[in-house]
Amino acid sequence: MTQPVVVIENLVKRYKELVALDHLNLQINEGEIFGLLGPNGSGKTTAISCVLALLNFDKGSVKVFGKEIQPDSYDIKKNIGVVLQNVAVFRELTVYENIDYFCGLYIKDKRLRKQYVNEAVEFVGLGEYVKFYPKKLSGGLLRRLNIACGIAHKPKLIILDEPTVAVDPQSRNRILEGIEDLNAQGATVIYTSHYMEEVEQVCSRIAIIDKGRKIAEGTKEELKKMIKTDEKIHIEVVGLSETQLSQLRQLPHVYRADYAANELTVYCNGGKHNIVHILKYLQENEVSFGRVYTQLPTLNDVFLEITGKELRD
Amino acid sequence: MQVFKAYMKIVKKKIPSIIVYFAIFIGISIAMTQAGSESERKDFAQTELKIAIENLDDGELSKALVDYLQVNHEVTEIPETEDELLDAIFCRKLDYVLYIPAGFTEKFLAGEREGSLRDRKVPQSSSGMFADSQVEGFLSTLGVYLDAGFSVDESIKNTMEDYELSVEVAFLNGENAAEKHMAVYYFQYLPYIFISTIILAIGPVLLVFLRRDINARNKCSSVSFQTRNLWLIGGSIVVALAEYLFLMAIGICMYPDYILTLKGAVGAFNAFLSLLFALSVTFLFAQIVKKENALNMVSNVCSLTLAFLGGIFVPLDIFGENVLKVSKFIPTYWYVTANDAIAHVTKFSEITDPIWHGFAIQGIYAVALLTLGMLINRIRARE
C-alpha cells in the first residue's frame, strides 16, 4: 500500500476578511502525480504555500512525510523540490550558476552536485544555454530553468505551482513530458494548474478546488462519472425554432439542449446511438444541418457542472 | 557557503559599477581633504584689496598713508577716464579709490581732519567699508600721536609700528588649523566614503537576495534562515573589509608619517568602527528599501546628512549650540570628535575619554542598527 506523502487536514487560511482556504482536506500518496485544479484565486497557491510552510495558517494541520511541517523543518524540506509560480532565479547569474546555487542549497558534495546540475540541464534541455543570463532566455526557456532549479537535487516530493503559465506549446509539452519522467523516476508530484488539459494529460489523481474548498477529488475518470454528461453533440444548424428545440429536449437520454450562433449543443447522459436519433429528428423536420461532431466530457464540464461557472473565469 | 559563493559571484558581476562609485567618492573625498585643510588654514588671512590712489598732496602724512595701504593692499594707478574708473569699480577690478587733495598734510596738522579725503567704492560693499575703516583707523591713530605732542616723523613711525603688530589666532580648544596633519582630514572623510559606497555597492547585492521571489525560494530550501543571513552578512563584511584595506593602503601611501604611528593605528580602528556602522546602516536599508533606485537616493541623503551634521564637511567649531545638540545623536559626530582627539595621541595612555566614547558610541550604533535590520528581516520572513 502506498504511503501518504502529504496530508492536509481541515486547513483554514484567512487574509483578513477573505477566507483563502476553507477547511481543506487533501491526501497525496507516494508515487502520484496529484493535480490541484481550480480557477485563479481558488486557493491553489495558498495551499502550496502552507505545505511549504511559507505561510502561517489559522487552523488545521499539514503533514509532509508523516511530520508536521514548520518553517524550520529543514530535514523535511531537503526532500522537497519547489517550482514556484513566479520564476525565482537570479538575473545576475548564468543558467548554470543558478541551477548550481539552488542545487547547492541541498547538496553539499561538490562532485555529486556537479553531476546533478548537469543532469538537470540535460533534463530541461538547456544545454546550449548554460552560459546565458536569464534576461536572454525566452519565457519558455526561463520556465524550464525555473524547473531545473527546483528539481536538480532529485527530491522525493516535487511541487510545481502553475509551471506552464505564459509558455509556448512546444515548451509546455516538454515540461509536461518532464513531469511524467520525474514521476517515473520515483518522485511524487503535486501539480497545480488552471489548464485542465494539462491536468488531464499528466495527473493520476485530481482535486478540484474553488473558493478555498475542495469540491471534487478522484481520478479523471472518477471525476467525469460524477456528472450527468456522458456525451456532448455539436451540430451546425440553420433556422432551428424554439418549438423544435423543445422537442429535441424531449428525446430519450437528452437532458439539455442549447442553440446559439447556428450551433446546436445537445447534452446526453447514457444511452446509445444518441447522435442517430437527433439527426433523424432534424431530417424528419426538414431542418438543414452541416458539420457534426461529438465530445466526451472534460474536466471543464466537471467544473462547470459542479460550480456552475467556467474554469477560466 | 552556497549563499556566500553566490553573493561573491553577484559582487563580481557588479564590480564595474562598484569601481565607478568608489572612484567618484574617493575622488570627491580626496579633493575635499585638500580643499578643507586649505580653507581652514586661510580662515584668518587678511583680505587684500585693489585700491587706486590719486595723491595730489606732497606732504609726509599723505605719503605715510599711501605707504601703509601699500603694505596690505594692491595699490594701482587711477584709470585715466571717468568711464574707465566706473567700469573698473563695477567689474570689481577696483575695490576702492582714494583721492588725497593738495594741502591735505597741512590741513591735517592744523587740526582740520574731517572731510578732506574723498573716496569712491561699490556702495554698501564690505570691501569698501573695510578700506574706509583702515584709512580712518590709520589717520585716527596718527592724530592721537600728533595731539599727544609727538613730532610728525615720530607719529608716523609709531603709527606704522602699531599697524605692523599681528595677532595669533587659535581655536578655543587649543588647536591651530594650520598645524593639523593632512592625514587627520583624510581620516575625517572616510565615513562619508564608507556610507556612500557601501550602501551603493553592497545594498544592491543584498536586495537581490531579499527579492520576494528569491527569498521565498530560499525559504523552501533546507538551509536555515540564520545560516543564510550569516552568510549574507559574512559576504558583506568581506567586501567592506576589502574596501577598508584599500583605503588604508592609500592612506599609508599618502601619509605614512602619520598612519604608521600609534595615532594612525588608533585612527584606523576608529575608521573600522565607522565601517561597521556603515555596514549596519546598509543592512537595515536593504530590509526597508525595495528598489535599487531608492537605495541610491537613500545613500545620498544618508551620507550627506551624516557628513554635514557629523562635522565631516563643516568644522564642529562653527556649529551653534542647538545644532551640536542634534549632532551628538549622530555617530559621525563621535567619529570626528575621536578623530580630532586621536591627532594628539603619542602613547597609549593618551587615548582619552572622547576617543573611548567615540569608539563605544559607534559600536553601539552598529550593533543596534544591525539588530534592528535582523528584526525587520525576521518579521518580513514571517509575512
Contact (Cβ atoms closer than 8 angstroms) between residue B337 and residue B249: no
- Which of A105-119, A160-174, A250-264, B250-264 is least confident? A160-174
Q: ipTM score of the complex?
A: 0.78
Give the contacts of A106 (CB within 8 A, at least 6 positions apart): A78, A153, A155, B221, B222
**CB contact (8 A) between residue A77 and residue B225:** no
Nearest CA in chain B to A155: B221
Distance CA B288, CA B375 (A): 11
**Site from A67, A86, A105, A110 to mutate, B interface, most B CB atoms within 10 angstroms:** A105
Residues in B whose CB is inside 8 Å of some CB of A read 1-2, 5-6, 9-10, 13-14, 208, 213-214, 216-225, 381-382
Q: Looking at the partner chain, which of A78, A90, A104 has a beta carbon nearest the beta carbon of B214?
A: A90
CB burial readout A181-213, b (16+ within 10 A) else e: ebbeeebbbbbbbbbbebbbbbbebbbbbbbbb
Contact (Cβ atoms closer than 8 angstroms) between residue A30 and residue A7: no
Residues of A within 8 A of B223 (CB-CB) are 74, 105
Residues in A whose CB is inside 8 Å of some CB of B read 52-54, 56, 71-72, 74-75, 77-78, 80, 82, 84, 86-93, 97, 101-102, 104-106, 149
The three cell numbers of residue B176 are 591651530
**Is the per-residue pLDDT at A310 higher than 70?**
no
Res B46: pLDDT: 62
| pLDDT (average), residues B50-74 | 87
Residues of B within 8 A of A80 (CB-CB) are 220
| pLDDT (average), residues A149-168 | 88
Domains with residue ranges and CATH for chain A: 4-225 (3.40.50.300), 231-296 (3.30.70.100)
Please provide the CATH number assigned to the domain covering B50-164: 3.40.1710
pLDDT tier at A313 (50, 70, 90 boundaries)?
very low
**CB contact (8 A) between residue B222 and residue A75:** yes
Identify residue A190 by its one-letter amino acid code: I
Distance CA A81, CA B117 (A): 97
Among B210, B207, B278, B267, residue whose Cα is nearest residue B241: B278
pLDDT digit string (tens) for B231-263? Answer: 989 999 999 999 999 989 988 888 888 888 888
Q: Which residue has the higher pLDDT, A112 or B317?
A: A112
**Site from B218, B221, B226, B231 to mutate, A interface, most A CB atoms within 10 angstroms:** B221
Among A33, A32, A34, A12, residue whose Cα is nearest residue A22: A12
**CB contact (8 A) between residue B225 and residue A86:** no
| pLDDT (average), residues B68-94 | 84
**Site from B12, B212, B215, B222 to mutate, A interface, most A CB atoms within 10 angstroms:** B222
Contact (Cβ atoms closer than 8 angstroms) between residue A186 and residue A20: no
- In this structure, the strands spanning B50-55 and B96-100 are parallel
Task: Work out the end-to-end distance of chain B between its first and last CA atoms, rounded to an integer number of angstroms.
Answer: 26
Helix orientation angle between B126-147 and B152-164, rounded to the nearest 10 degrees: 140
B192 burial class (0-12, 13-18, 19+ CB within 10 angstroms)? buried
The three cell numbers of residue A273 are 446511438
Q: In what order do the strands lie in the sheet with A4-15?
A: A18-29, A4-15, A59-64, A67-68
Residues of A within 8 A of B6 (CB-CB) are 90, 93, 97, 101
Q: Looking at the partner chain, which of A54, A78, A80 has a beta carbon nearest the beta carbon of B216?
A: A54
Angle at A252 between CA A251 and CA A255, to 5 degrees: 80
pLDDT tier at B171 (50, 70, 90 boundaries)?
low
Give the gap in angstroms from C-alpha A270 to the nearest C-alpha of chain B. Answer: 48
pLDDT tier at A195 (50, 70, 90 boundaries)?
confident
Average of per-residue pLDDT values in chain B: 84
Q: Where does chain A have alpha helices with state H?
A: 44-51, 74-77, 95-104, 110-124, 139-151, 169-184, 196-202, 220-225, 242-249, 274-284, 299-307
Distance CA A72, CA A70 (A): 5
The DSSP-derived string for B303-353 is: HHHHHHHTTSSS-GGG--HHHHHHHTTSHHHHHHHHHHHHTT--SGGG--H
Contact (Cβ atoms closer than 8 angstroms) between residue A134 and residue A91: yes
> In percent, how much of chain B has pLDDT > 70?
92
Residues of B within 8 A of A72 (CB-CB) are 224-225
Q: Which residue has the higher pLDDT, A11 or B179?
A: A11
pLDDT digit string (tens) for A131-150? Answer: 999 999 988 889 899 999 99
Instruction: Give the start-to-end residue ranges of the domains of chain B.
Output: 2-41+174-382, 50-164
Residues of B within 8 A of A135 (CB-CB) are none
